[in-house]
Amino acid sequence: STTNTPILEARNVSKSFGKFKALQNVSTSFMPGTLTAIIGPNGAGKSTFFNVLSGAFPPTSGQILFNGKDITGMQQHEFARIGISKSFQITNVFKQLTVHENVRVAAQMETARYNFLRNAQSYPGPIEVADQLLRRVNLEHLRNKKTGDLAHGQQRALEIAMALACNPSLLLLDEPTAGMSPEETLVMMELIRTLASERTVILVEHKMKLIMGLCKRIIVLHHGEFLAEGTPEEIQNNAEVRRVYLGQ
């Protein structure tokens, strides 16, 4: 039945760069409405897995299914159109534009309009959508600031606002707290908690402690392979996981 269909499934996904196997036969799935963290040491293949899951590039072998439909090989804009959105990277944000202008650019994209209409909501227009998104990530008070003048944590929140512009049912966040101060990290964690109450979220994070209180399910990658999955408690008590993280 549909209630048992994962929103996203990876089947035997591998990805090689030349001879180097960055991902090897990873199989896992994500149920609708869940918040899952993917952890693993640096170089474990987390970002590679994420790029495959978000359509940035296809796997070398294996399949990606979205709501039971095989979407392997589709382009990233098609992933966005069906409702899979990965957070923008700050390198894709226009630093000379204001905060509101940046979100407006994202809200003007064809995919944004399409997804609002598909969900039978009237498309309120890019200005209104940008207003909504800035309220969503608590940046409305900075709407007229030049993006380049924002604090790091605020820039990362802006990336998320832009990723939300296409109204995704599945949001992928790759290390959203990277480079953040402890205070910024707490604010971001709260935002992720809120976003996860509205849609499926998959989070890549290499700081294990950080996601322990946030997620019910954690997947561990190591050397491009699926090492373990479980609740935070199971993962913390997993001998292999502890060995991999020793010294971190």
> Which one, 47 or 72, has the nearer CB to Mg ion?
47
The bridge status of strand 8-17 relative to strand 20-30 is antiparallel
Closer residue to ligand ADP, CB minimum distance, 145 or 223: 223
Cβ proximity to ligand ADP: between 62 and 83 the closer is: 62
x/- map, 23-62, Mg ion, by CB under 5 A: -----------------------xx---------------
Question: Which residues sit at the interface with ligand ADP, rule CB under 6 A?
Answer: 17, 20, 22, 40, 42-48
Shortest distance (Å) from residue 46 CB to ligand ADP: 3
# of chain residues touching Mg ion (CB under 5 A): 2
Q: How many Å apart are CA 144 and CA 147, to the nearest integer? A: 9
Q: Of Mg ion, ligand ADP, none, which one does residue 57 interact with (CB within 5 to 8 Å by kind)?
A: none
Q: How far is CA 131 from the centre of its chain?
A: 22
**Distance between CA 92 and CA 156 in Å, rounded?**
12
- Helix (H), strand (E) at residue 221: strand 217-222
Give the helix/strand (H/E) hosting 235: helix 232-236
Smallest distance from ligand ADP to CB 61, Å: 16
User: What are the CA-CA distances from residue 84 to residues 41, 137, 238 (Å)?
Assistant: 25, 19, 31
Residues at the contact surface with Mg ion, assessed by CB under 5 A: 46-47
